[in-house]
Amino acid sequence: MDAGTYPSVRTATCKVSSVGNLSFDVKNLSTNAIEQTITAAVSNPQVTFKTSLGDFVMELNPTAAPKTVNNFLSYVNQSPSFYNGTIFHRLEPTGNYVIQGGGFTPGPNLKPPTIPAIELETSSTSPKNLRYTVGMARTNVVNSATSQFYVNLHDNSGFDYQNANSPGYAVFGKVISGMDVIDLMATKPTTTKNGYSNVPVTDITILSATQTQ
């Protein structure tokens, strides 16, 4: 944590990579001295999505998937957010039961990721793909996840870790409010557009994505 001192105000900035009751050393970079140690309760991060169908809030789980959460927040916190103006390009209310977004603009046209792909974080103790949980989308290549994510519309045990040869998909959070918006998305008709199937007929657009906790 870096500290800056002013006549009547002292400020410090840091990037938190864990949750719970944490201790922080406030260090003055000019003198290299630790000026103060503080303890703070750090809650799970939350992200608010404003969409063309309404708003919903995700709570992220950095304890279960720290690299995945850090990657996701890196996209959220770009200026402007990487997700602004992207769409939910894949809707499967039957079969795989997901709605997926974060990687396409209207068309749909692929929006190239700006951060290298991350390592898959799954194991036998990972959170399950239950209804309203949020997972990181990837290709058949295990360590290929970038910006795209999905929300489970039903319990999807087939997406869970089975073994090293079938590692599943990393769950890194859950929708904690606005579940009615997710349910509304699931009712929308789909079609094939620009070579992609299961695309909502009317774009479901992410207007903004903001870390709110």
- Number of separate domains in the chain: 2
Same domain, 139 and 191: yes
Same domain, 59 and 153: yes
User: Is the pLDDT score of 4 beyond 70?
Assistant: no
What are the counts of helices (DSSP H) followed by strands (DSSP E) for the chain?
2, 16
Same domain, 62 and 151: yes
Same domain, 28 and 84: no
Confidence of residue 28 (pLDDT cuts 50, 70, 90): confident
* % of the chain with per-residue pLDDT over 90: 78
Contact 16, 66 (CB under 8 A): no
Same domain, 37 and 50: no
Same domain, 22 and 56: no
Give tens-digit pLDDT for 116-164.
999 999 999 999 999 999 999 999 999 999 999 999 999 999 999 999 9
CATH for 118: 2.40.100.10
Domain that holds residue 26: 2-42
Same domain, 102 and 172: yes
Confidence of residue 95 (pLDDT cuts 50, 70, 90): confident
Same domain, 142 and 59: yes
- Give me 52's structure tokens: 């063309």
Contact 153, 97 (CB under 8 A): yes
- Helix then strand then coil, in percent of the chain rounded to 5, is 10, 40, 50
